Structure 1
């Protein structure tokens, strides 16, 4: 996959799903005790070359496109399965824009239930026909979205998905999630790295129910198939010494990924759509539900290595996500002279450490003993109730407390936040983010600036099973 300058605009995603991988997840929560015995698993074909999603690209400041929501058969690993799609594909087109662009999307709903569209992480109006999660697009209806993005929009990787109350998990798990890229990240790279090959590494999983992708009765700890761009264990090719940009994005409904590339380090240049102020390296990256990292990867000696997700437990009342192979990296072909990789300062810093704080709040995540109802500050979601009010052009400090025995993936719409501390220990984030995992029986502190936009928006757990069962609250940003 190349940048917008070399890849043509396409109207549908081209997905060939091949490979073999089925990873089981076990849970210590009551949810896992209700998991039925899995259906017989089909035998999947061998891995195929990675296919990057098609792209819908803005031109002259405008991206205008039609998106059809449809239940149809999709090819996953050589098997025809019923799934929920955007424009007919399990891995739909990547929407690609620039800061200051306008995006007009005609979303046609052919399902037999309501849906809508959320542009995850984007700093844009939460009202009207923009990023308004309170909209309901009825069966048979076409809704015309209009997003006007600011020129200050940060470059990086975002994603889009439905955000209808009570059905978000089902629709995303069924296949309705895709990437959105804001161009401009390369401007911070050295000149010799500004035109490198980039790949979408969109992580989404599916459970099986007969000849369909499962959407009802989802259990986080049930056996699942983890895909990259809708493919099972695809082959990613790189030349020895070559540098590539990978856009790692967890666009699954519920599960976590702890991504690791054997024998390699990731060099992180953006987190949740925000360029970092200082590049940092990691052997593995935790992608809680909804999180993204843009990373540089350099080809090693000729040979094969695995892109894996390592074992990760979300607490004594949560889930154990097992180790699994996501993709195979093959280093082959003519060697490239390894480019010196940036190791220090990157994008301009954004630091709220010394900001004037207008208000301090406590946000408490909790759940009932059975793990079937979830709460924020003791209340379940009500779209007609305002839970928090904030003033435009102010900065607030929130303490997010987790009273449960499992991690929750905290996410807030409209504005990013700076993660200040975790369990009382200062945290150096090197930038802003829109997702952070709050530890079981733990807490973290964030600071957030409310700028540009007023209106009702939401904060919630991005484990969508939890969101749909009440762990969401309304935030009203006022003048």
Structure 2
């Protein structure tokens, strides 16, 4: 497949705006693959900023020509990517987006993101639900500057227009009693959603591309930037209309308050259906509770008082510095401490992790697997990760992209046992990058001093 990045005037909600587009679309087509597939992708950059692409959440190699986020594709350049999906990769909802350092917030906010689905999730559904209707609900938001989506400077707390699949308040049809599969994906740069559908509950069957072992139900779901949920939604038995909405949400005294907003209109009409039984068990269980722990690490999030620099263990991001080293085929326990007065999120590339506890409260292994979790203000989470299949340099960061761009990212090097960190070992996967490839650690052109980013000036989180 080919993706061309262009700045074009396109339909965004109810307006025609200049946006960063993939193949001329603000909401590009959903990509689909299956476990064991090989994804070959050619990206061409026709915008005047360096860019690249990251397949968020996928368990694939971080080495070129796969998910190497350290490279920069300059204007007029092309790069070939090749991702070999393990047969063991889990079915669910993922997404793809720009990960160009100093530019990711601006480019994702401007439109550079789309949904990616790994099929086979339905294998875990009972027979009477295997053919249910499916909706992908890609959540994007945009701020407007004249005739364009605003990309710089971005203030997270500013008024923003929320869209579903790039549309303004689209209609979702359901029959009375019908059960549908909704794929909820926050593919925006910075903001939170607290989704709610009056009269219904979300029955969670997957989160961050990981099927849960036991289905759980929620009246509302908080979805951080980058996070996803696969849910079953069952309509009431009477015709009616309801608003899928995001409820007010506060990320802390140093953070932001997001207001209520309607997202989509759910219309229940037509011939009634017999309500199906919602399953209680779903995907296979995986639990690291009793695993041998090879190492324990601590990640501390802090920020300066102006909100212009964000730190991991007291340092801003440097792509040429190795911050953490982990050994292939081992399990580690990481404590992530948020020493600030606003929520941050924790995201790691290459391997998903099991959330063990939040502020000391244990999390059930039946619903504990993620790639992006919220770390409470002045709180902490403990996660365990098993490093499987792949070696190489990758990253961990806050997925509030303004914060990532202003320093809250660190480099993790996964190595073979006995191999020094500076030589990550292992053969480079087959495939040859075309023009535009840069050595790992290359800074995009227009490199800015630490703490400054095109995505935010001044108070980076409150604006």
* TM-score above 0.5, yes or no: yes
Give structure 2 stretches of 5+ with no counterpart. Answer: 417-463
Q: Does 1:470 align with 2:421?
A: no
CA contact (8 A) 1:274 1:431 kept: no
1:90-169 aligned within 5 A = 90-169=26-105
What is the rounded CA distance, in whole Å, between the counterparts of 2:369 and 2:120 in structure 1? 17
The Cα of 1:281 is off from its aligned counterpart by 0.4
Q: Which residue is equivalent to 1:170?
A: 106
Q: Which of 327, 332, 341 is matched with 2:278 structurally?
A: 341
Q: Secondary structure at the match of 2:396?
A: strand
TM-score (norm. length: structure 2): 0.89
What is the rounded CA distance, in whole Å, between the counterparts of 2:379 and 2:154 in structure 1? 26
The Cα of 1:76 is off from its aligned counterpart by 2.1
CA contact (8 A) 2:175 2:273 kept: yes
Q: Which of 16, 24, 43 is matched with 1:88 structurally?
A: 24
CA contact (8 A) 1:277 1:431 kept: no
Q: Which of 222, 235, 246 is matched with 1:299 structurally?
A: 235
What is the rounded CA distance, in whole Å, between the counterparts of 1:266 and 1:374 in structure 2? 34
The Cα of 1:193 is off from its aligned counterpart by 0.7
TM-score (norm. length: structure 1): 0.86
The Cα of 1:289 is off from its aligned counterpart by 1.2
1:418-429 aligned within 5 A = 418-428=354-364
Q: Secondary structure at the match of 2:370?
A: coil
1:24-423 aligned within 5 A = 65-300=1-236, 301-342=238-279, 344-423=280-359
Could you say if the C-alpha distance between residues 316 and 78 of structure 1 is closer, same or farther in structure 2, counting changes exceeding 3 Å?
closer
- For residues 267-323 of structure 1, give each alpha carbon's deviation from its aligned partner in whole angstroms, at most 9, with x where no partner exists: 000000000001000000110111000000112120101111111111111001111
What is the rounded CA distance, in whole Å, between the counterparts of 1:183 and 1:77 in structure 2? 28
Q: Secondary structure at the match of 1:465?
A: helix
What is the rounded CA distance, in whole Å, between the counterparts of 1:365 and 1:268 in structure 2? 29
CA contact (8 A) 2:323 2:410 kept: yes
CA contact (8 A) 1:134 1:383 kept: yes
Q: Secondary structure at the match of 2:331?
A: strand
The Cα of 1:125 is off from its aligned counterpart by 0.1
- For residues 85-143 of structure 1, give each alpha carbon's deviation from its aligned partner in whole angstroms, at most 9, with x where no partner exists: 00100000111000000000110100111100000000000001100000111110111
What is the rounded CA distance, in whole Å, between the counterparts of 1:118 and 1:78 in structure 2? 29
CA contact (8 A) 1:350 1:431 kept: no
Q: Secondary structure at the match of 1:187?
A: helix
What is the rounded CA distance, in whole Å, between the counterparts of 2:229 and 2:68 in structure 1? 25
- For residues 231-260 of structure 1, give each alpha carbon's deviation from its aligned partner in whole angstroms, at most 9, with x where no partner exists: 111111110011110000000100000101
The Cα of 1:464 is off from its aligned counterpart by 0.2
Q: RCO higher in 1 or 2 (8 Å CA, sep ≥ 6)?
A: 2
Aligned residues: 414
- For residues 208-230 of structure 1, give each alpha carbon's deviation from its aligned partner in whole angstroms, at most 9, with x where no partner exists: 00000111100000000000000
Q: Which residue is equivalent to 2:448?
A: none
What is the rounded CA distance, in whole Å, between the counterparts of 2:71 and 2:286 in structure 1? 33
Give structure 1 stretches of 5+ with no counterpart. Answer: 1-64
The Cα of 1:78 is off from its aligned counterpart by 3.8
Q: Does 1:436 align with 2:384?
A: no
The Cα of 1:345 is off from its aligned counterpart by 1.6
The Cα of 1:468 is off from its aligned counterpart by 0.2
- For residues 162-217 of structure 1, give each alpha carbon's deviation from its aligned partner in whole angstroms, at most 9, with x where no partner exists: 00110000000001110000001000000111111100111010000000011110
CA contact (8 A) 2:210 2:370 kept: yes
The Cα of 1:425 is off from its aligned counterpart by 1.2
- For residues 303-352 of structure 1, give each alpha carbon's deviation from its aligned partner in whole angstroms, at most 9, with x where no partner exists: 1011111111111110011111111100011111111111x221110111
- For residues 431-457 of structure 1, give each alpha carbon's deviation from its aligned partner in whole angstroms, at most 9, with x where no partner exists: 411011000011110000000000000
Q: Secondary structure at the match of 1:358?
A: strand
Q: Which of 378, 383, 386 is matched with 1:446 structurally?
A: 383
CA contact (8 A) 2:14 2:167 kept: no
Q: CA RMSD in A?
A: 0.7
